[in-house]
A = this chain, B = another copy of it.
Amino acid sequence: MSDVALTAGTQPAQELFIKMAVAAWDASTNQCSKLFDELTDDQLAAEASPGRNTGKYLLGHLVAVTDRMLPLLGLGERLHPELDNAFLANPDKSGLETPPLQELRKYWKEVNAKFSAAIAAIPPGEWFAKHTAVSAEDFAKEPHRNKLNVLINRTNHQSLHYGQLLYCRPKK
């Protein structure tokens, strides 16, 4: 271990990497929030690319995925389980009824406020506990299938759709 690594070691490594993973999630979420605030209803109602998902679908999809993490990480009840059918179980343009865009914008804020506050309060050791969708038996063999790993993977998922949502912006 280099001297520099030992310097880093003055803060317990476990807390340091929880901080890194949570910061990456927060950065991704803030980036999306800023973009949603910037996009008009018309821009969000349009397809990100011709024949692809609309910005509205991607917004509802991301809200539903974050909302599902609440019970998955043991952080309490979901706020909007009613979104799953239209935004997770089915593709865009399914013909299913969906909330108006203004409601979805509100849900994005509510769900993320609840989720961010909840993850900020998770005790360090708890992040390495199993999430609720893996059995104790499987977890004993695969200890990386913990709560922090869920957050890391969901951050990448959110970034993927953020890249697509950028195409809802008007062209320069």
Contact = CB atoms under 8 A, between A and B. Distances in A.
**Size class of the contact patch on chain A:** 35 or more
A102 interface: no
Contacts of A130: 4, 8
Decide if the interface of chain A is mainly helix, strand, loop or mixed.
Answer: helix
A157 B156 contact: no
Contacts of A30: none
Given A14-B13, A50-B50, A156-B155, A4 B136 contact: yes
A33 interface: no
A94 interface: no
Given A49-B49, A52-B167, A156-B156, A146 B8 contact: yes
Nearest to A140: B7
Contacts of A148: 17, 20
Interface of A: 1-2, 4-11, 13-14, 16-17, 19-21, 23-24, 27-28, 48-52, 123, 125-130, 136, 139-140, 143-144, 146, 148-149, 152-153, 155-157, 159-164, 166-167, 171
26 contacts: A1-B126, A2-B126, A2-B129, A4-B136, A4-B139, A5-B126, A5-B128, A8-B129, A11-B143, A20-B148, A20-B149, A24-B152, A24-B153, A50-B50, A51-B171, A52-B167, A152-B152, A156-B156, A156-B159, A157-B159, A159-B159, A162-B163, A163-B163, A163-B164, A164-B166, A167-B167
Task: Rank and list the top 8 A-B pairs by shortest CB-CB distance, nearest first.
Answer: A1-B125, A49-B49, A160-B163, A163-B163, A159-B159, A8-B143, A8-B128, A5-B129
